[in-house]
Copies of this chain bind each other. A is one copy, B any other.
Amino acid sequence: MFHNLKMFFQRLIPNLDEETWQSFLNLQQVKHYKKGTIISHEGRTNNVVSFIEKGAVMVYNHVEDKRCIYNFFFENEYTGDYESFLTRQPAQYGIETIEDCTLFQLHYNGLQLMYDKHPIFERAGRLIAEAQFLRLTSRNASLLAEKPEERYLNLVSAKPQVIQRVPQYHIASYLGITPEALSRIRKRIR
């Protein structure tokens, strides 16, 4: 059941002992969501992070009625409005499933408990935060230095599953352009 989750943490903290792991497992809530479900709402404080056992989600927000897609997450990744989760402030982002999902959810208080009782988890927390940071760093470079067409080409080669599993108008939003523009780019490069 929790095989993927265990792999995930063993890579971060190989010296994880069985007792710590069990107390961590006790905090997990297994949830199933249908495609198209909003699992985290804009404006509400987000109390959970979710490990994606199966499925895919997208992170978005609305600015004056216009929706922006910030990211897609797939199997064996953690998702959640990490910002709201950390700051305990209302979320600026929403999260919606784009496929049927199985998630392992972890509540804020549970995680803080882990941090206090099992210092090894501070390290896992640090490594996860650092990994998120690195992910955003490259996303940033892409948005700042590349033209939409380059961004699309890089996405195709770097994350083919996004191309395969996500509708095109969401990809366009993720690239910072309109669906029409993406359609033209695709026409241009073939």
Q: Please report A residues at the B interface, Cβ cutoff 8 Å.
A: 61, 63, 68, 70, 82-83, 86-87, 92, 115, 119, 122-123, 125-126, 129-130, 132-134, 136-137, 139-141, 143-145, 176
Contact = CB atoms under 8 A, between A and B. Distances in A.
Nearest to A136: B136
Copies in the complex: 2
Chain A contact residues, majority secondary structure: helix
B115 A123 contact: yes
Contacts of A86: 130, 133-134
25 contacts: A61-B145, A63-B145, A70-B140, A70-B144, A82-B133, A82-B137, A83-B133, A86-B134, A87-B134, A92-B141, A122-B123, A125-B126, A126-B129, A129-B129, A129-B130, A129-B133, A132-B133, A133-B136, A136-B136, A136-B137, A140-B140, A140-B143, A143-B176, A144-B176, A145-B176
A83 B125 CA distance: 17
Contact of A126 (B82, B126, B144, B145): B126
